Amino acid sequence: MEAFETYQTPLASRYASKEMSYLFSSANRFKTWRELWLNLAIAEKQLGLPIGEEAIEQMRANLDLTPEQFDIAAKEEKKRRHDVMAHVHTFGQVAPAAAGIIHLGATSCYVTDNADLIFIRTGLTYLLKSLAVLISRLSGFAAQYRALPTLGFTHFQPAQLTTVGKRATLWIQELLWDLRNIKRARDDLGFRGVKGTTGTQASFLALFDGDHDKVEELDELVTKLCGFEYAYPVTSQTYSRKIDIDVLAPLASLGATAHKIATDLRLLANLKEVEEPFESTQIGSSAMAYKRNPMRSERVCSLSRHLMVLHQNALMTSSVQWFERTLDDSANRRVTLPEAFLTADIVLSTLRNVSEGLVVYPKVIARRISQELPFMATENLIMAIVKKGGDRQEAHEKIRVLSHEAAHQVKNLGLENDLIDRVRGDAYFDRIKGELDSLLDPQTFVGRAPEQVDKFIKDWIEPAMADEELKEALSKAGRVDLNV
């Protein structure tokens, strides 16, 4: 019952994947701190500091925290008002042989910042894999509907025809750019490493009796033990908060892409042309029982807006870091970084769920085309008359008059577009009446849309998905089931 009496973020309790929720959990955070202290001790021992093997083994055997250790740490933090030192003390209790050397030479940011970089790198990897699956799902959708004509919209007003599949490639192209940007941010990520209180490594230089080479070697060794290729060459007490900007920027950009896709789907649902999945027992409205609201796409839009604005936090935090550091970044980043990753995770999983169950209604699409295509086909009719020896200006005037009569039927009387019936009933058009069906075939109005879909999949999507890391993710990916 106690869990229901305390606020919990819905990001974790309702929406996010278990993997991403665990990544930013207290259990994983403090375990990672312990792993960082273990790696520091291993490296210091290897470089000659008097650290016993028993200390290393006790640390290694106690990386996971028990509920009792969490209670001890909470009491220590309340007493010391310092989370890192509370956990140094707690770790020392279960690894007594190491109690005197845990955190040796380090500052708090050795564990807090390096842990954040580990979480960021892992989180970006999770997002890359989920994004690849989404791209793959939408690619299949685009291929399936590569040639299905649909009314295009500019300004949300009827425009030339496109295809359902071609429209999906517009979504995928932006997702491919997001894939590139997130991968770039992850692969560029470095490690804070072993830098000391203000980044000068003075404490480690003292530990190694002024041996600069050993200090540099320590930094490199700890970086490698933690799985990073390189450490940032210079830092202050923290790694530069500009790194957070670089990480959250592609996530915010992903939010913009997701919002656009979900908005398109919401509009298509209103047109009854394409719908997101809707379970047989799902309720669209507590009052209006007939409703099928696009709630998943609406959720994507809602959370995408949140994801986009979180980038502003990183920008503002970075801009106010005085000199070697100021602590007004800490509380903000405790909220901003986990929320950015959990939100991006939710946006992707929800879009994946939507993409795996999209429903297309070809007859509704065809009906809407039939309402607009006669007007769009008037130029084709004029050209056909001219080819049969007619006068272009005379044909134009005939079409103009009939078009306005048909528009009156549609707009003022609420009737169907009967332009083609009017053309069939006018003797002037006798010479082309046998061609009307072919002149009005929607397939002739989509240009190269089907071929563009084929080429885009072959030249852009397939090469991107050929990456070994992403291929493995695709091979293991199942369908996404949403809890709510």
Q: How many CB atoms lie within 10 A of CB 79?
A: 11
When pLDDT is averaged across residues 1-14 and rounded to a whole number, the result is: 81
The continuous run of DSSP H or E covering 192 comes out as: none
What pTM, to 2 d.p., does this model score? 0.91
Classify residue 348 by burial, with Cβ atoms within 10 Å: 0-12, 13-18, 19+: buried
The answer to which of 227-236, 361-370, 426-435 has the lowest mean pLDDT is 426-435
- pLDDT tens-digit series, residues 47-105: 999 999 999 999 999 999 999 999 999 999 999 888 999 999 999 999 999 999 999 99
pLDDT score, position 289: 46
Q: How many CB atoms lie within 10 A of CB 463?
A: 10
Residue 109, classed as helix, strand or coil, is helix
**Annotated catalytic residue within 285, 302, 319, 438:** 285
pLDDT score, position 1: 64
286: pLDDT confidence band, cut at 50, 70 and 90? very low
- pLDDT tens-digit series, residues 171-224: 999 999 999 999 999 999 999 999 999 999 999 999 999 999 999 999 999 999
Identity of the residue numbered 205: L
Residue with tokens 């493995």: 472
**Annotated catalytic residue within 155, 280, 286, 475:** 155
- pLDDT tens-digit series, residues 112-163: 999 999 999 999 999 999 999 999 999 999 999 999 999 999 999 988 999 9
What share of residues in the chain are helix, strand, coil (percent, to 5)? 70, 5, 25
Q: Compute CA distances 163 → 150, 272, 446, 448, whole Å.
A: 5, 16, 7, 10
Is pLDDT of 478 > 80?
A: yes
8 A C-beta contact, residue 99 and residue 92: yes
pLDDT score, position 66: 95
User: Structure tokens of 133?
Assistant: 């699956």
- Is 285 marked active-site? yes
279: pLDDT confidence band, cut at 50, 70 and 90? low
Q: Compute CA distances 209 → 206, 212, 222, whole Å.
A: 5, 9, 19
Q: How many CB atoms lie within 10 A of CB 318?
A: 16
